[in-house]
Structure 1
Amino acid sequence: MRARSAGRREAAAGGTDAEGGLFHELATAVAALSEPRNLRSFALPYPGFAQRALDRTVMRCIDLGEDPPKSLPELWEWCRGRTADDPLFDVPPSLVTPDTTLVHAIGLMPTRACLEVASQGSADGVAAEARTLLAELEARCVSAGQYQRCRRFLAHHPVIQQEDRYTPGWDKSVWTLAKGLYRPMDESLLTDGLAMRCRSCGLPGLLDRRRDPAPVPGRPVTDGEAWCEGEECPRGDAFDLIRDPRLSLILPLSLRVFLVLPHRVEEEALNALDHAGADYEAVPGHLCAYRLRATGAGTLDVRMYDRVQPGLLAAHLARDAPLADHTFVVVPQRLAGRASYRTRFTAGLPAPLRERLVLTTPDSLVPHIWARTR
């Protein structure tokens, strides 16, 4: 009986990392269930991927003598309180920070860490969907310049309100190519028929619906009662109300998180390269990647990310096997400045890559390039 129980525990854990184990399967399920097409999945019968995640969680709880969630809504609430260091999971702290949850405590939506875990090592993960959508957009464009204009438009317009289309400077040719990527505002992002948009990152936000059922125009929003998809934006009076979201359109979650969020650091890094007179070109097949031309120091790539989990970022880059002699990984200063971020990133890289991959920020990018090319 003990041998069988141990075997069940090993099968239930499904691995010792954030890829293929229970934590990864739950992250994938949470990310999928947040999509508008799956909003009705919380009613029986559950879709197969959700039922499998629930069954696997129940088995793991029973093996460890804990009360399991009994339904998909209970599983969602359960994921809101369970952290990555919970004994139910077997996630190395080098991959995912121990206090990581999959469902945000206030927004009750997938956390950014959840989406990063769900994208890890998956050919059809959230980040892969963003790459596919952008590749399809690029195929519709007649030139690289037109594609870059469309891409920039998406990054600056994660949410489109009806009046936006009548503002000066609206590019109808870009809108014709890009509008197919937008869809109606998700019902899960509405509170009493209103939507909120963060003034800092431009992404949707929500109030803590357990405390305040609806946003109040003119009243500042405090940090403890609000959430936005960027998760790390300053609060205060930091949201705009979208009063008639039925007339608004929004980008898919994959593009909001893996294009819109890193675009700010991408623009800052490219501005630094332009100011330094560097010549570069986009690297096909990547979300935010460029190759420097004529450096005289081998091939040098610059990749821009806004990822909250440095261990997962390192694992992604290691799996992606950068072909350049040196790759500069540019992240926002707020991330690079954290005491453990750089340490976790470096520790997550295989030893042969630690000299080839340089973690930097937009302000430090050019000095780091000069140091490698002189």
Structure 2
Amino acid sequence: MSQDRTMLTTLWSETDGVLLLRSVATAMVRLSEVGDPGAYTLPYPDEAQRALNTTVLTCLLLKAKPPESLPELVEWAAKRPLDQWPGTLPPDVVPPESRFLDEATRQPTALCYEWAVDAEDSAARHSEQRYMAIASQRCWEENYPEAYRAFRLLLTRRPVLTHRELATLPAAADGELGPLGDLLYDVYRPAPSGHLDRERRSHISCARCHTLLHLTVGGDLWCERRRCRELGTARRGREYPVDDGGGAQLLIRPLRQWVSATGALEERLAQRLAAAGADVELWPGFGAYGIRVRFPGGTTLAVDHKDWESPALLGRRAVPPQPDPPYDRCVWVVPAARLRKNPDFRTTFEAYRPSASPELMTDRELLRTARRLIGTTAPGLRDTAPDPGPDGEATEGLF
């Protein structure tokens, strides 16, 4: 590790701003799980009280005006950009104008979850690791890779189920889910009230990504996925009436963010690579990594899709997976939109990562690499035209 990286690691562990943002992010995620954070009265939940205490103490030490209550801290999280919070931070750790809560819905942003999982005491709770580790272990013990793949495909393609579907799916899957049928009840939960259209008495899915749309404070519909928002106004998809089929069951947020969204993009990328002549396997080794790509010349890539707001937080997690199944190079694919929005994304990522692997590429860079390794201009690897989005809209690259 270089001297600069050693310095950044020290700054991260000792900087008051890092401790503050971790604490507040954890509190906002916790509050979103149990109800309306603005409605809380004393005594506050433990995570929320710690976050409020940390913020107040930091403000007092810096002679700044602190929030006077938890509702005021929630307003800070929704309205105050993170680079304007009290305390000091290592360089480039928060994107400009980024916030922990979406102002229109008071729901945690993707960045909020990224900071919550950076806190060691809450990482397992607020990430996908706990549930996916259970699924992987069960399928490994029974030597049932088909069940693991079926589980990943379900989470990827069906972020919403009706209660009736949830109850009947394990039996209807003809054994495909194997030992994982009961795990569905842990990862699909009754849809929160914030997603409910009370006039229609139904939940409404996004026509693009199929997760549930959230109502804003102004009564509009909002999708939590960046890519859908960038495509424009939310599009109504399937409706889930409260009185039909027992209502909607929504995949929990960490799995929507790090498994469902990621899986959809890894599927599309795998299809492009397979069409070009590569040997492609999704989620090999019971989820050791996203895609195993073997080329005719013998080179094997381990590919993971990573759509993170903060390149610094992503860089801190940049450790290659265990070499089982084996690979020659490890690649993390990030949306090209991230690099367009933040030209320093790659530089910041590289400054914070602890090792030289994995390599960071956009989807188009990976496809160009594949084209060189295959030595062809096969249709599956052509990237001269924008790729159509899930509803037919043209987008830049795959992501």
TM range (shorter): 0.7 to 0.9
Please give the secondary structure, in 1, of the residue aligned with 2:82: coil
1:204 corresponds in structure 2 to 212
For the structure 1 residues 335 and 63, does the alpha-carbon distance in structure 2 shift closer, same or farther, using more than 3 Å as the test?
A: same
What TM-score does the superposition give when structure 1 sets the normalisation length? 0.77
* Cα deviation, residue 139, structure 1: 3.6
1:230 corresponds in structure 2 to 225
The 8 Å contact of residues 136 and 286 in structure 2, kept in 1 or not, is answered as no
* Cα deviation, residue 97, structure 1: 0.7
1:16 corresponds in structure 2 to 15
1:183 corresponds in structure 2 to 189
State the number of aligned residues: 343
Distance in 1 between residues matched to 2:305 and 2:206, nearest whole Å? 22
1:268 corresponds in structure 2 to 268
Tell me whether 1:195 sits opposite 2:203 in the alignment.
yes
Question: 279-288 or 64-73: which moved more?
Answer: 279-288
> How do residues 132-151 of structure 1 correspond to structure 2 at under 5 angstroms?
132-141=130-139, 142=142, 143-151=144-152
Tell me whether 1:248 sits opposite 2:254 in the alignment.
no
Distance in 1 between residues matched to 2:366 and 2:61, nearest whole Å? 50
Identity %: 27
For the structure 1 residues 50 and 255, does the alpha-carbon distance in structure 2 shift closer, same or farther, using more than 3 Å as the test?
A: same
Please give the secondary structure, in 1, of the residue aligned with 2:330: strand
Please give the secondary structure, in 2, of the residue aligned with 1:138: helix
* Cα deviation, residue 190, structure 1: 3.1
Structure 1 residues not aligned, in runs of 5+: 1-12, 213-224
* Cα deviation, residue 28, structure 1: 1.5
For the structure 1 residues 247 and 39, does the alpha-carbon distance in structure 2 shift closer, same or farther, using more than 3 Å as the test?
A: farther
The 8 Å contact of residues 183 and 249 in structure 1, kept in 2 or not, is answered as yes
1:330 corresponds in structure 2 to 333
2:3 corresponds in structure 1 to none
Distance in 1 between residues matched to 2:65 and 2:321, nearest whole Å? 42
Distance in 1 between residues matched to 2:127 and 2:349, nearest whole Å? 25
Distance in 1 between residues matched to 2:89 and 2:373, nearest whole Å? 36
The 8 Å contact of residues 265 and 332 in structure 1, kept in 2 or not, is answered as no
Tell me whether 1:90 sits opposite 2:91 in the alignment.
no
Distance in 1 between residues matched to 2:155 and 2:30, nearest whole Å? 22
Distance in 2 between residues matched to 1:232 and 1:77, nearest whole Å? 25
Please give the secondary structure, in 1, of the residue aligned with 2:350: coil
> How do residues 1-374 of structure 1 correspond to structure 2 at under 5 angstroms?
15-16=14-15, 20-36=18-34, 42-120=40-118, 122=120, 124-125=122-123, 129-141=127-139, 142=142, 143-162=144-163, 171=173, 173=175, 174=177, 176=181, 179-180=184-185, 181-192=187-198, 194-209=202-217, 211-212=218-219, 225-233=220-228, 234-236=231-233, 238-240=235-237, 241-244=239-242, 247-281=247-281, 282-284=283-285, 288-293=289-294, 300-317=301-318, 319=319, 325-336=328-339, 338-341=340-343, 343-350=344-351, 353=355, 357-361=359-363, 363-369=364-370, 371=372
Structure 2 residues not aligned, in runs of 5+: 1-11, 376-399
For the structure 1 residues 289 and 308, does the alpha-carbon distance in structure 2 shift closer, same or farther, using more than 3 Å as the test?
A: same
| Per-residue Cα deviation, 1:77-120 (whole angstroms, up to 9, x for no partner) | 12111212115142345222121100111121100111112122
Question: 90-99 or 109-118: which moved more?
Answer: 90-99
What TM-score does the superposition give when structure 2 sets the normalisation length? 0.73
1:222 corresponds in structure 2 to none
Question: 265-274 or 36-45: which moved more?
Answer: 36-45
Question: 111-120 or 326-335: which moved more?
Answer: 326-335
Distance in 2 between residues matched to 1:78 and 1:56, nearest whole Å? 14
